[in-house]
Structure 1
C-alpha cells in the first residue's frame, strides 16, 4: 500500500496548504508530483497508481483557497489529471485491490467542488479495467441515478456519468437508453453515452444523427462545441476525413490561443494542406492579426505579413517576431517591425504606450537594418508610412526628429 512508500509530494499537499495567490507555487508542486509518480511508474505501475490516487485525494483540500479566476490553476489541474489518468488505468492491481483504491478515489471525487475529476468520471468504466468491477460500480450507482433523475426537485449526483461510463464499458447498452429516458431534458454530457453506445454497436450513422439531434434539443447551445467534436471524431474514425473537416474541422473552442487552435486542427488532419487550414481559419474566424503567430511559426510568411497589416495585430508581438527573424529572414523582420512602429504611432491597439516605447521599437529595427546595410531603406519606408497614415502628433514628431537627425 502507499503508506509503505514515502511520497515526497505529500508534504506539499496538506489541507489548506496554499493561499489566495498560490497558483504558481501549486502548479509547480503538481508538476513535481506528476514527475515523481511517473518515475515510480517505470518500475512499479501498481505503486504509481497508488501515488496517483493519493495525489488526487489531496488536490482539492490543498488548493481550495487559491484564486482560480485567471484560469491558470485550472490549466495546471487539467494537465495533472491528463497525466494521472493513464497511470490509474495501467496500474497492475488485481480486481479487489483496484476496487479498494477506486473507492478512495470516489470519495475524493465526491468531496471536491471544482470539477477537477470530470474526465475521471467520464472514463470510470475504463479505469475499472475489469468488466466485473465496472458491473459492480454500475449496479451500485444505478439506484442513486434513478432517484436523482426521477426527483421532482433538481439535484446533482456526481456518480451519474460514472454509472453511464461503466454501463458503456460493460456493453449494457439497453440500460443506458432506459436510464436516459428517465430524464425530463436531454443533456449532452449524459446523452453522449447513448451516441457512443450506438457507435460501439456499429451504428455510426445512427450515432451521428442522434448527436446532431442533441444540438437541436439543447436550445442553450452550451453543448454545441462538444457535440461537434464528437461528430468530427466519429467521421474521422469512419474514414470520412474530408466530410469531417468541412462540417466540423473549423469548430473553434471557447478559449485558447489561435496558434494552439491551428496546431490542433493540423494534427487532426495531417493529410490536408496546412496552408489551406490556416487560410480557412482566418476566413472563418476573422481578425487576421490574431493569426499572425500561427502563420509565422508555420513558415507562411506571406500570410503572416498580411496578418501583420491587419488592425487586429499586436505591435509587441510583431516586434518580437522582428527581433527573432532579424538574421533568419531580414525582409520579414523589417516589414513586421515597420508595421509594429506604425501601429504604435497610430495607437491602433488597446495597450497604452509612451514615447519611450516608440524610441525602443525604432532602435531595435534600426539595429537590424544597420546590420544588413538597409538603414536608408528603413528610413524611407518609415517616412512614407508616417506620411500616409494618420498618426498621433506627439509620437509622430518624436520619430520624425530621430529620422531627421540620424
Structure 2
C-alpha cells in the first residue's frame, strides 16, 4: 500500500484536545475532507487512512466535554462518512481482516464510548458474508455464555462485542441464529438496541408482517419509539404499502431539527401524498402550536394555509415580516396578511430581541405590499392604528415607533 503522510495524524495524538469541543470538531471535519479528497485518487489509501483516523480518534478526544452532544454528533457523522469508504475498498481479505482487527481493538479501548456507533456497521465493514461469518463465530460464544449466565444468576452482563456480533450475524445471513441469540439477551427486559437486529433478520427473510409485530413488541419504558416507527415505516415502504406506512408511522418516525425540515422529509418520502394533507396532519399532532408551521406552509406554496396557521396561534413576528418583505411584489395580498399578523404579534408582546428596526421593517413591508395590491394607503394606516389600539401589551411601543408614519 502506498506510503502517505496524513496531515490529520499528528493532530490526533492521545489527549490532543482540552475540554472545549470547538477545535476537535473542526479538526474532525478537516480530517474527513482530507480522506475524502484522497478517495477520488486512491480509494484503498483513503480506506487505510479512515481506519487510522478511527483508531486515533477516541484517545485524542477523551478529555473533551461531551455534555452538549456536539462532539458525539461529530464522531457519529464521521463514522457514517468513513464506513462506506472502508467497506467499498477493493483489497485482499488479509488487508481487510487486519483493518477489522485494528478497529475492534479501538472499540475495546474506547471507554467513553465515542466509537460505539461503529458496531452497527460491523457487518458492512466485513464486506463479504465469509468475513462476517468469521467474526460471528468469534464473538457469539462470548455472548451466549454471558447471557446464559445472566439468565441463571439474574446478574447484568455487557460486552463491547455485542452489536458487532449481531451486525456480523446479519451480514452473514445467519438470521435464525441471530434471532436465537437476541432472545437470550431478554433475561431481564427487551432492548430495541438488540431487537432491531432480530427485526431486520425477519424482514430479510421476507417475514415483513412478523418483523413489524416483533418491532412493535419491543415498545416499553425508555424505548426510542421514533426508531421503532422508522423501522416499521421502512418495511412497509419497501413492500409497496406507502398508504399504510404513512397512516401508521410517518409522523412518529420523522423528526428533524425544525418544523420545515420535518415537513420536507415526509414530503420527500411520500411524493404522491398532497402536501397540504401532510402539513395539516403534522399541525394536528401539535395543538396550540399551529403558528410554528407558518414557514413550512409558506415554503410549500400553501399561502392561504400559512396565514390561517399564523392566526390560530402565535408565530414568530420576524418570520412573518420577512415573508411580507419577500413576497411584497410576487404575492402582495399574502404579504399584507403576513405583515399585519407579524405587527399584531409585535404589538402583543411576542418575539425575541425586538427593536424599533423590526417594527419599521414590518411597516415598510406591509405598505409596499399594499401598494402592489392596490390597497389605499389611508385604509392601511387606519388598520394599523386599530391594530395598535387593540394590543395593550406592547402596542404603545409600536405606536411610538410608527407615530410619524401613521400621521394623517
TM-score after normalising by structure 2: 0.87
Distance 1:315 1:393, change over 3 A: closer
Shift of 1:56: 1.7
Corresponding residue pairs, total: 399
Q: 1:153 aligns to what SS in structure 2?
A: coil
Q: 1:34 aligns to what?
A: 32
Alignment partners' CA distance in 2, 1:9 and 1:281: 44
Q: 1:76 aligns to what?
A: 74
**How does 1:5-404 map onto structure 2 within 5 Å?**
5-23=4-22, 25-113=23-111, 116-149=114-147, 150-151=149-150, 152-183=154-185, 184=187, 185-215=189-219, 218=220, 220-252=221-253, 256-286=257-287, 287-348=289-350, 351=352, 353-354=354-355, 356=356, 359-362=359-362, 364-365=364-365, 368-369=368-369, 372=372, 375-392=377-394, 394-399=396-401, 401-404=403-406
What's the Cα RMSD here?
Answer: 2.7
Shift of 1:252: 4.8
1:182-239, Cα deviation, whole Å (9 max, x unpaired): 2212111111222211221122122122112222xx2x05232211111110011111
What stretches of structure 2 of length at least 5 have no aligned partner?
Answer: none
Shift of 1:67: 3.5
Asked if the contact 2:294–2:309 (Cα under 8 Å) also holds between the matched residues in 1, the reply is: yes
1:7-65, Cα deviation, whole Å (9 max, x unpaired): 22224333333334332x43333333222212211222111111211222233333333
Shift of 1:378: 4.0
Q: 2:107 aligns to what SS in structure 1?
A: helix
Asked if the contact 1:322–1:334 (Cα under 8 Å) also holds between the matched residues in 2, the reply is: yes
1:93-148, Cα deviation, whole Å (9 max, x unpaired): 21111111112112222333555444431221121012221112112211332344
Alignment partners' CA distance in 1, 2:83 and 2:346: 47
Asked if the contact 1:341–1:358 (Cα under 8 Å) also holds between the matched residues in 2, the reply is: no
Distance 1:242 1:68, change over 3 A: same
Asked if the contact 2:324–2:366 (Cα under 8 Å) also holds between the matched residues in 1, the reply is: no
Asked if the contact 1:295–1:303 (Cα under 8 Å) also holds between the matched residues in 2, the reply is: yes
1:276-329, Cα deviation, whole Å (9 max, x unpaired): 111111112331122122222222222222232243411222233333334443
Alignment partners' CA distance in 1, 2:230 and 2:332: 41
Alignment partners' CA distance in 1, 2:380 and 2:46: 59
Q: 1:231 aligns to what SS in structure 2?
A: helix
Asked if the contact 2:307–2:337 (Cα under 8 Å) also holds between the matched residues in 1, the reply is: yes
Alignment partners' CA distance in 2, 1:17 and 1:363: 53
Asked if the contact 2:227–2:253 (Cα under 8 Å) also holds between the matched residues in 1, the reply is: no
